[in-house]
Amino acid sequence: MNLLRNTLLVGALAGSLVTLSNAEADVIYQSIPDLTVAADSNGWCSVCSTNNTQQIGQQFTLGASALINSALFTVTSYYFWPSPVTLSIYADSGSATLGAQLFSQTYSSFASDTPTANNTDIVGVNIPSLALGAGTYDLLLTNPSHLGIPGYLIASGGTQIQVNDTIQPASVGDAYFFVYNGTYNSGLILQSTPIPEPTFIMLFSVGLLGFSAARRKKNSA
């Protein structure tokens, strides 16, 4: 019995250590190698006028499940004003169509703002632990002050997209098109807390059961 209890105790501790180590933020998606490099395009505005609403974003693909905690992206300094910005994430339905809306939040200001040497700013927003599985998604940005989203020709698993003539934010089922036939990418970095592997979750659960059983035995004695 002592051997079993010690084994369960070790299992619980190991599960705890794995969970803590996985709690550290990691980059889960990055569209270009370096957000500080000069953009190939000055950018497309997120809202050009009330009659021609454009929402600019980035299609991205995750190879594994993750908890998204924050998003960093580049904006063109000339168009950048610290007024509300709405960030929305959709499942991608294929055929250039937005799927279910998985997240949407309007921020009164960016959580971070870092000027670069290329007339762009790296801005960031916090996301409250959005759980996403492996798959393809669409992230869109809107801003009433004409937030400029630069384009980069360096591709890394995603493509810059644009939605025209739509409300803010876009609706499920809205069609989008790839900016310049899909040759551009937004400067987007998604940071994540990886979801623990099932093996470690099971190990941690078994360990907790061991703690509970040992405590009940002690109390009954």
Q: Is the pLDDT of residue 211 over 50?
A: no
Which three-class secondary structure state does DSSP give residue 19?
helix
Residue 203 has pLDDT above 60, yes or no: no
Mean pLDDT of 108-113: 87
Measure the CA–CA gap between 145 and 9, rounded to whole angstroms. Answer: 56
Percent of the chain whose predicted confidence (pLDDT) is above 90: 39
Name the more confident of 155 and 126. Answer: 126
Average pLDDT, the chain: 76
Q: List the chain domain ranges.
A: 24-195
More confident residue, 122 or 193: 122
Q: Class assignment of domain 24-195? A: mainly beta
27 falls in which pLDDT band (50, 70, 90)? very high
The residues near 137 (Cβ < 8 Å, ≥ 6 apart) are 59, 60, 61, 62, 89, 90, 91, 92, 102
The larger pLDDT score, comparing residue 109 to residue 208, is at 109
Q: Answer yes or no: pTM beyond 0.85.
A: no
What distance lies between CA 176 and its chain's CA centroid?
19
The pLDDT score that the predictor gives to residue 132 is 95
Tell which wins on pLDDT, 12 or 96.
Answer: 96
